[in-house]
């Protein structure tokens, strides 16, 4: 039997070469803003968010279309569906997610995921004062700012190497700023998983060919803005640069029908220097770690840390500054194909105004059925 070790360097090297080549090409055009399409990096699923977004090597349900589509082949049921709703930053931002997956045969599987992140009911007060100088509240209108993504996934086992799975996503992005502007984007992701004994390895390459967003601006809607000296935006194209996530996990059986699953991910961004543990102008690396304890595959406790950032003393919670992680906790229950997962995550590690923290509770519901 062929060994994965012979293929791993070639797979990783090919992915990095393609990604870095597209990065170099994109940067020469100066169309690569940092954090482009960052709504796709918030995370989905209560299990993942409770483990610090550590999933690339572990995922095995419909959320694999987001985390690593190769994980669709780990699905235990014939059909799987996941729904999630969370309200971030005291309910200002709504984050909704739905996914469905199924096998095509013993060697392949498909999935579809839909994501929406948006802020609704934003007041447009430009016409608040009428032509007579009077305040007229019925002249206020409202609009939404929302980002949408549709991911279509395909995964396949590689028969020559036992435990090796390859997969890809085709994704369509739509971003809308009320009547003012909208954008369409298209991109491709690629994923790999390899299982050997209790060890699990994963590699996810997002936007591996870069993702292009074409913005269309309705310049007429910018007339009458509060600051008339501000320039009106023009139609433009922005490019999302590749992001690589390398993960390793280990499953262990414990006494008294207990199980433990520990994993570490390294998230590598290529859009410029970031405030991460490893940071340079070429790449930045953000490590993440997660742990899941299970009892009879029925009840699960989870924890994780991610998003390490260096804080100034006056902006940190304890007033000491230094490197601060973003912690998360979670619980889950699974029975008769139904999975209910809850996560508590601190969304910001800096102070926001006079608030000491910005915690958020995330709820997701999954169901696997024959």
- pLDDT for 214 equals 94
How many other CB atoms are found less than 10 A from the CB of residue 13? 10
Question: What's the CA angle centered on 262, arms 280 and 46, to 5 degrees?
Answer: 85
- pLDDT for 31 equals 75
Token digits for 289?
């770690």
**How many domains is the chain partitioned into structurally?**
1
Distance CA 47, CA 342 (A): 7
Query: Is 280 buried (19+), middle (13-18) or exposed (0-12) by CB count in 10 A?
Result: exposed
Task: Report the CATH number that the domain containing residue 124 is assigned in CATH.
Answer: 2.40.160.40
Burial 198-211 (b: 16+ CB within 10 A, else e): eebbbbbbbbbbbb
Helix H or strand E segment including 216: strand 211-217
Which pLDDT tens digits describe the chain residue by residue (370 residues)?
Answer: 334 333 343 333 334 333 334 334 334 445 788 888 999 999 999 999 999 999 999 999 999 999 999 999 999 899 999 999 888 877 889 999 999 999 999 999 999 999 999 999 999 888 888 888 888 888 899 999 999 999 999 999 998 888 899 999 999 999 999 999 999 999 999 999 999 888 999 999 999 999 999 999 998 887 765 556 677 788 889 999 999 999 999 999 999 899 999 999 999 999 888 888 898 988 999 999 999 999 998 999 999 999 888 877 666 656 677 888 889 999 999 988 899 999 987 655 445 444 444 566 788 888 877 6
Helix H or strand E segment including 49: helix 46-50
Distance CA 224, CA 135 (A): 16
Query: Is 58 buried (19+), middle (13-18) or exposed (0-12) by CB count in 10 A?
Result: buried
The bridge status of strand 199-206 relative to strand 284-295 is: unpaired
Distance CA 149, CA 172 (A): 6
Distance CA 315, CA 353 (A): 10
Query: Is 171 buried (19+), middle (13-18) or exposed (0-12) by CB count in 10 A?
Result: buried
- pLDDT for 129 equals 84
pTM value? Answer: 0.84
The residue behind tokens 């170099």 is 24
Asked if 119 and 144 count as a contact pair (C-beta separation under 8 A), the reply is yes
- pLDDT for 318 equals 61
- pLDDT for 133 equals 83
Q: Residue 198's domain spans which residues?
A: 4-369
- pLDDT for 349 equals 46
> Alpha carbon 169 to chain centroid distance?
14
């Amino acid at each position: 039997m062929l060994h994965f070790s012979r293929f791993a360097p070639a797979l990783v090297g090919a992915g990095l070469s393609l990604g870095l080549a597209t990065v170099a090409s994109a940067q020469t055009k100066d169309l690569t803003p940092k954090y482009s399409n960052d709504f796709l990096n918030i995370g989905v699923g209560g299990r993942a968010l409770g483990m610090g977004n550590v999933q690339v090597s572990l995922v095995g349900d419909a959320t694999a279309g987001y985390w690593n589509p190769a994980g669709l082949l780990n699905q235990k049921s014939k059909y799987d569906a996941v729904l999630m709703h969370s309200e971030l930053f005291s309910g200002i931002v709504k984050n909704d997610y739905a996914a469905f997956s199924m096998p095509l045969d013993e060697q392949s599987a498909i999935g579809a995921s839909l994501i929406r992140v948006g802020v609704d009911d934003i007041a447009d007060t430009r016409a608040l004062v009428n032509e007579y100088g009077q305040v007229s509240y019925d002249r206020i209108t409202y609009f939404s700012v929302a980002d949408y993504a549709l991911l279509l996934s395909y995964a396949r086992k590689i028969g020559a190497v036992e435990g090796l799975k390859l997969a890809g996503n085709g994704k369509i992005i739509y971003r809308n700023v009320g009547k003012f502007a909208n954008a369409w984007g298209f991109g491709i992701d690629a994923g790999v998983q390899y299982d050997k004994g209790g060890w699990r390895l994963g590699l996810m390459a997002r936007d591996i060919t870069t993702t292009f967003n074409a913005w269309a601006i309705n310049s007429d809607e910018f007339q009458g803005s509060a600051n008339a000296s501000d320039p009106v935006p023009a139609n433009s194209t922005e490019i999302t640069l590749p992001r690589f996530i390398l993960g390793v996990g280990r499953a262990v059986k414990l006494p008294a029908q207990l199980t433990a699953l520990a994993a570490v991910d390294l998230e590598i961004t290529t859009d410029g220097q970031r405030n991460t543990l490893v940071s340079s102008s070429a790449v930045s690396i953000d490590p993440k770690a997660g742990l899941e304890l299970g009892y009879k595959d029925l009840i699960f406790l989870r924890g994780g840390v991610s998003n390490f950032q260096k804080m100034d003393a006056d902006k940190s919670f304890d007033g000491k500054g230094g490197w601060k992680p973003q912690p998360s906790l979670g619980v889950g229950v699974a029975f008769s194909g139904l999975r209910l997962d809850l996560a508590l995550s601190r969304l910001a590690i800096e102070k926001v105004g006079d608030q000491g923290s910005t915690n958020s509770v995330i709820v997701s519901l999954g169901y696997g059925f024959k």
